[in-house]
Chain A
Amino acid sequence: MLKIENLHAEVDGKAILKGLTLSLDAGEIHAIMGPNGAGKSTLAYVLGGRPGYEITGGSVTFQGKDLLGLAPHERAAAGLFLGFQYPVEIPGISNVQFLRTALNAQKKERGEAELSGGAFLKIAREQADGLGLDMDMMKRPVNVGFSGGEKKRNEMVQMGIIDPALAVLDETDSGLDIDALRIVGDGINRIMRKPDKAVLLITHYQRLLDYVRPDFVHVLADGRIVRSGGADLALELERDGYAGIAA
């Protein structure tokens, strides 16, 4: 589904990704772990197409398409969802309006029929329920006045509504208390643990992986994948730290 080959990227002239290679198939959940400054968030932003991140080498293919040739909104329409570490506030626009506009824009781009207001609200309500968010919150402006945990849950509600083929989740677990962590973990499993979907889970800690069991764990250090393994690798990292691996 996603094939990253020898990817090099820099920000403000500073090389961050230095030959990253990674491949995800449908039905798989991959976790990327690594120390601060390893390039984890950069990887997420590069995949999402954030301006300011310059690709200096390598390629990324998503479902057979050259991902790097697409604008961010085209990547979304192609089935890529980026879960933000710091979800952004948009005052004055309700979550419902924002998401319905976004979802229908994606559908339009794909040549699919747009959803009516009623049909959309039904989906939104299901997804909000699934993440334990009150529907009233969905009617409030995007992320405005939301707590850190609510913002992360809202990201998952968005993911559920958009129903992407691939989710790249950037530290979705940061800022979550233990209950919220479980709710978010359950959400990821429910929405994305499917044969035709894949997840790239970027995280510092093992704890989210207690809820979302990855098929593969990769260690990202200094812009490269330095080690890959199964779910057990995360436990090992939790115990021993990154020091030995990154060195």
Chain B
Amino acid sequence: MTDVRNREAHEAVEEASTYKYGFVSDIEQDFAPKGLSEDTVRFISAKKGEPEWMLDWRLKAYAKWLTMETPDWAKLQMAPIDYQDAYYYAAPKEKPKLGSLDEVDPEILRIYEKLGIPIAEQKLLAGVEGAEPPRRIAVDAVFDSVSVATTFRAELEKAGVIFRSISEAIREYPDMVKQWLGKVVPAHDNYFATLNSAVFSDGTFVYIPEGVRCPMELSTYFRINAANTGQFERTLIVADKGSYVSYLEGCTAPMRDENQLHAAVVELVVLDDAEIKYSTVQNWYPGDAEGKGGIYNFVTKRALCQGKNSKVSWTQVETGSAVTWKYPSCVLAGENSVGEFYSVAVTNNRQQADTGTKMIHLGKGSRSTIVAKGISAGRSDNTYRGLVRVGPTAENVRNFTQCDSLLLGDQCGAHTIPYIEIRNPTAQIEHEATTSKISDDQMFYAMSRGLHPETAVGLIVNGFAKEVLQQLPMEFAVEAQKLLGISLEGSVG
């Protein structure tokens, strides 16, 4: 793998590529043997120096996974995945643990720069002294499968916040991890979550103690950087009573010809009066215009709003991946708990997205809001699939759902599939859905004012998605706006 990495060739590819972030860096990798077996699971666990209980947990998940079948209910067409034809672990070569960011491999920093990681974070990563960044974000950078560096750890710890790679957390806070891991998304939850449970390579663990408002936004950048390496991230965030945290997850991946599998699991636990705001910008390689290559993105994200008045807000901007299968959900168990889902999903060329949310209302007076915006272009398919369920003892539940689809061209598809299951007569459920096209009038009007057609589409699409974009933290919102434009390049003209 490493011997084919010719810098010049990659740069030429990058220049020629319409996918701005399609590049490969040449950091030496440390691979698990190809394919998936019990040995692979043991290899990963050993590589991470995990305790016995963790290995057992993984092995049980693996045994369960062998008995499961790929779900086929999503509106996705894809070739079967050969799980033996992939690597399940790749890490930058073993190094002593870094004391400061200055010690981070310059090659990694160079990649962050290429990715256009916000200046504030670049400064943090570069370890600029004195200059206070405009907003403070702690970055836990997941480079391929291992967290490379964590910033601001000391200050976070002063506040009692634990922000660790999940591997570190398993070693340093085993009791806490044991208490919560798999409690929101059980190891046997679904095919992809179970696979993740067996082979997750790294991810993030966050604990916000009682009454603490996390002093900065927490951010993890995911990158898939090795050919044929599935990325199996595991994120666990626990917000104790009365606490608050805003967590940002952003992703870009280098260009590849073979499809790459990604199956992440994110679990959020929210106790009484606590709140988690979880924002994602996903820009993995979507494949080329003919649908060759691209990431397969099968993600299980779920929040347990366990406490009274607990709140979770999912915001996602999904522009990348060849196939997206993702339903960030809220189990609203606590009385008066609140779940929100704000989503923009863009599909272009041959991309397929089947995404939405589940709001499971169990607590009295729980409320949820769903705003989903789908933008389809090229020959893509974009499906919103969402469940609103109200349990029999959940009195006075309210839900508002709005699904808007925007079509560019006449060869793409937009589908809205709401599932509504109400078992309590006091529930108030509203569902609105619209489908529209960018009109010729709008395009001509914008162009007659001097806008290039692609800029015009970008503006119109950003306007369409505004309700969702404004939920994002500022830095992310700017990045996301650019992404929407970039993702739709070539869809007009």
Q: A residues touching B (Cβ–Cβ < 8 Å)?
A: 48-52, 71-73, 75-77, 81-82, 84, 87-93, 97-99, 101-103, 105-106, 109, 141, 158, 162
B-side contacts of A97, CB under 8 Å: 459
Number of interchain pairs (Cβ within 8 Å): 82
Give the contacting residue for A88; candidates B442, B463, B464, B466; CB below 8 A.
B442
Q: List 26 A-B contacts (CB under 8 A).
A: A50-B448, A72-B444, A72-B448, A73-B447, A73-B448, A73-B449, A73-B450, A73-B456, A75-B448, A76-B447, A77-B450, A81-B448, A82-B448, A88-B439, A90-B442, A90-B445, A90-B463, A91-B466, A92-B466, A93-B466, A98-B459, A99-B449, A101-B455, A102-B449, A105-B451, A162-B449
- Check B450–A102 contact: CB distance below 8 A: yes
Tell me the smallest distance from the CB of B24 to a CB of chain A, in Å: 32
Cα distance, A75 to B466, chains bound together (Å): 29
Whether A105 lies near B455 (C-beta < 8 A) is yes
B463 and A93 contacting across the interface, CB-CB below 8 Å: yes
Interface residues in B165-224 by Cβ distance below 8 A to A read none
Chain B residues closer than 8 Å to A109, beta-carbon distance: 450
CB-CB nearest 9 A-B residue pairs:
A92-B463, A76-B450, A106-B450, A92-B466, A88-B445, A102-B449, A72-B447, A93-B463, A102-B450
Q: Knowing A88-B445, A90-B442, A90-B446 touch, does A101 contact B451 (C-beta < 8 A)?
A: yes
Minimum CB–CB distance for A145 against chain B, Å = 14
Residue of A102, A103, A109, A141 contacting most chain B CB atoms (<10 Å): A102
Chain B residues positioned under 8 Å from A89 (CB to CB):
442
Given A51-B440, A71-B447, decide whether A92 and B452 contact each other with a Cβ distance below 8 A: no
Q: Tell me if B446 and A102 are in contact (CB < 8 A).
A: yes
A residues within 8 A CB of B459?
A: 90, 93, 97-98, 101
| B interface, over-half SS | helix
- Report whether A48 and B448 are in contact in the complex, using a CB–CB cutoff of 8 Å: yes
CA distance A98 to B445 in the complex (A): 11
Q: Report Cα–Cα, A91/B467, bound state, in Å.
A: 11
Instruction: Give Cα A232 to B348, complex, Å.
Output: 57
Give Cα A49–Cα B453 distance, bound, in whole angstroms.
13
Nearest B residue to A71, CB-CB: B447
Give every chain A residue within 8 A of B463 (Cβ-Cβ): 90-93, 141
Name the distance in Å between A107's Cβ and chain B's nearest Cβ: 9
Q: Give me the interface of B with A, judged by CB distance under 8 Å.
A: 439-442, 444-453, 455-456, 459-460, 462-467
Q: From residue A166, how far is it (CB to closest CB) to chain B in Å?
A: 13
| Contacting pair A158 B460 (CB below 8 A) | no
* Other A-B pairs beyond A72-B447, A98-B449, A105-B455, 20, CB < 8 Å: A49-B448, A72-B444, A72-B448, A73-B447, A73-B452, A77-B450, A82-B448, A87-B445, A88-B439, A89-B442, A90-B442, A90-B445, A90-B446, A92-B462, A92-B463, A92-B464, A93-B462, A97-B459, A109-B450, A158-B449
Q: Once the chains bind, are A84 and B451 in contact (CB under 8 Å)?
A: no
**Residues of B with C-beta under 8 A to A71:** 447, 453
Chain A residues, CB < 8 A from B464: 91-92
Chain B residues with CB under 8 A of A105: 450-452, 455
Q: Which A residues lie within 8 Å of B456 (CB)?
A: 73
CB contacts (< 8 Å) of B467 on chain A: these are 92
Contact A93 B447 (CB under 8 A): no
Report Cα–Cα, A90/B447, bound state, in Å: 13
For A143, the closest partner residue in chain B by CB is: B445
- Contact residues in B for A52 (Cβ distance below 8 Å): 440
Give complex CA distance A76, B444 in Å.
11
| Chain A residues within an 8 Å CB radius of B444 | 48, 50-51, 72, 88
Partner of B446, one of A50, A51, A98: A98
Given A50-B444, A84-B445, A87-B445: A102 in contact with B465 (beta carbons within 8 A): no
> What's the least CB distance linking B469 to chain A, in Å?
9
- Chain A residues in 8 Å Cβ range of B449: 73, 76, 98-99, 102, 158, 162
In the complex, A105 Cα to B456 Cα: how many Å? 11
The answer to whether B466 touches A102 (Cβ under 8 A) is no
Q: Are A92 and B465 in contact (CB under 8 A)?
A: yes
- A90 near B460 (CB under 8 angstroms)? yes
Residues on B with beta carbons closer than 8 Å to the beta carbon of A84: 445, 448
User: How many angstroms from the CA of A80 to the CA of B442 in the assembled complex?
Assistant: 18
The interface centre, meaning the residue of A84, A92, A105 with most chain B CB atoms within 10 A of its CB, is: A92
Tell me which residues across on chain B come within 8 A of A101, comparing CB atoms: 451, 455, 459
Cα separation A168 to B464 with both chains bound (whole Å) = 30
Chain A residue nearest in CB terms to B452: A73
Bound-complex Cα distance A146 to B456 (A): 21
The CA-CA distance from A242 to B465 in the complex, in Å, is 48
Which residue of chain A lies nearest to B493 when distances are taken between CB atoms in the complex?
A71
The complex places the Cα of A92 from the Cα of B461 at a distance, in Å, of 9
Q: How far is the CA of A89 from the CA of B449 in the complex (A)?
A: 14
In whole angstroms, what is the CA distance A90 to B448 when docked?
Answer: 14
CA distance A71 to B448 in the complex (A): 9
Report the minimum CB–CB distance from A38 to chain B (whole Å): 22
**Nearest chain A CB to B461's CB is how many angstroms away?**
9
The CA-CA distance from A92 to B466 in the complex, in Å, is 6
By a CB distance below 8 angstroms, the chain A residues around B439 are: 88
Task: Find the B residue at minimum CB distance from A105.
Answer: B450
**Alpha-carbon separation in the docked complex, A81 to B445 (Å):** 11
Residues of chain B contacted by A88 (CB below 8 angstroms): 439, 441-442, 444-445
Q: How far in angstroms is the closest Cβ of chain A from B382?
A: 19
Contact assessment for A162 and B440 in the assembled complex, using a CB-CB cutoff below 8 Å: no
| Shortest beta-carbon distance from B434 to chain A in Å | 11
Give the distance to chain A from B346, nearest Cβ to Cβ, in Å.
15
**A101–B446 Cα gap in the complex (Å)?**
10
List of A residues within 8 angstroms of B445 by Cβ: 84, 87-88, 90
Which A residues are CB-close (under 8 A) to B451? 73, 101-102, 105
In the complex, which residue of chain A has the Cβ closest to the Cβ of B444?
A: A50
Residue of B nearest to A73 (CB): B447
Closest Cβ neighbor of B445 among chain A residues:
A88
Most A CB atoms within 10 A — which of B456, B459, B463? B463
Q: Which residues of A contact B446 (CB under 8 A)?
A: 90, 98, 102
Cα(A82)–Cα(B450), bound, Å: 11
A76 pairs with B440, CB closer than 8 A: no
Expressed in whole angstroms, the minimum distance between the Cβ of A243 and any Cβ of chain B is: 33
- The answer, among A50, A51, A87, A162, for a CB contact under 8 Å with B450, is A162
Q: Give the distance in Å from the alpha carbon of A102 to the alpha carbon of B441 in the complex.
A: 16
In the complex, what's the smallest C-beta–C-beta distance from A41 to chain B, in angstroms? 13
In the complex the two chains form, what is the Cα distance from A48 to B449 in whole Å? 10
- The CB with the most chain A CB atoms within 10 A, among B447, B459, B466, is that of B447
Alpha-carbon distance A48/B447, docked complex (angstroms): 9
A77: chain B residues at CB < 8 Å are 450
